[in-house]
Amino acid sequence: MASNESNSATTLAEFSFAPVAIVHSPYKQKFAIPRQPGLVTAAHGKIELLMDAPHQQVLRDIEQHSHLWLIFVFHATAEHGWKPLVKAPRLGGNKKTGVFATRSTFRPNPIGMSVVKFDGISKMGQNLALDVSGLDLLDGTPIIDIKPYIPYSDSITSATSIMAPSAESTVIDIEFSDGAKQQLQHCSTQYRDLPLFIEQVLSQDPRPAYKKTNLQCQEYGMSLYDLNIRWQIQENQCLVLSVEKH
């Protein structure tokens, strides 16, 4: 019996996966990515298939599903390893809790799952891609599997979470400076829903949890698409200063 258990453990340890797709996302850095999918509906991206199998066959009937599960690798943080206790943002960013009680990126196996809205199929060069929205994934994220979201089984209405009972409801008043408004006019034709996208990202208040109690004026920058967005925030007043090409 001990020998069988040993063989089983060895087999499991040898599992490896090749990406079936890669994410093309407006999020170019970890900072400002929403902490959960679906919170920023104006975030549009593409999931480019990389498989050798015929893309038309693996995608057959996928349009019968409105949403998809993406199983992915936390490729940007995997090299940092993991710890059994992590600081959960919903606990203020200071209290530690068990990694399996959170969705922390620093996990024993750096794997995550995210649900996105399926918007259609398009071509990227010789490859097919899934057009999606509401994503919360970093550009270049490897996808190791794609599954349909099944409402009757995946949506459990009786489920509860004491740590995160509902979406955070931070009320932030967002305005664009005159200069940012002029810059947006030049960029909006290239990027779908760009003003709304920026507003939705900032409404999530991407600052670290410990910064949110600071009442002094703070200035930040983030990369969305190939744009550098600078803004300042004081209490719950946010002013977008500029929207510039890198």
Average pLDDT over residues 194-220: 86
Per-residue pLDDT tens for 154-178?
Answer: 999 999 988 888 877 667 899 999 9
Confidence at 70, pLDDT banded by 50, 70, 90 = very high
Tens of pLDDT, residue by residue over 122-153, are: 999 999 999 999 999 999 999 999 999 999 99
Max CA distance (Å), the chain: 73
Tell me how crowded residue 89 is: count the other CB atoms within 10 A of its CB. 16
CA distance 136 to 121: 19
For residue 43, pLDDT over 70 is answered with: yes
Class of domain 2-75+110-154: mainly beta
Please identify, in words, the CATH class of the domain defined by 173-245. Answer: alpha beta
Rounded mean pLDDT of 1-8? Answer: 52
* pLDDT tens by residue, 75-96: 998 888 998 998 887 776 678 9
The candidate with the shortest Cα–Cα distance to 199, out of 184, 186, 210, is: 184
Structural domain boundaries in the chain? 2-75+110-154, 173-245
Residue 9 in this model has a pLDDT that exceeds 60: no
Tokens of 38: 């679906």
d(Cα 197, Cα 161) in Å, to the nearest integer? 28
In whole angstroms, give the CA distance from residue 54 to residue 241: 47
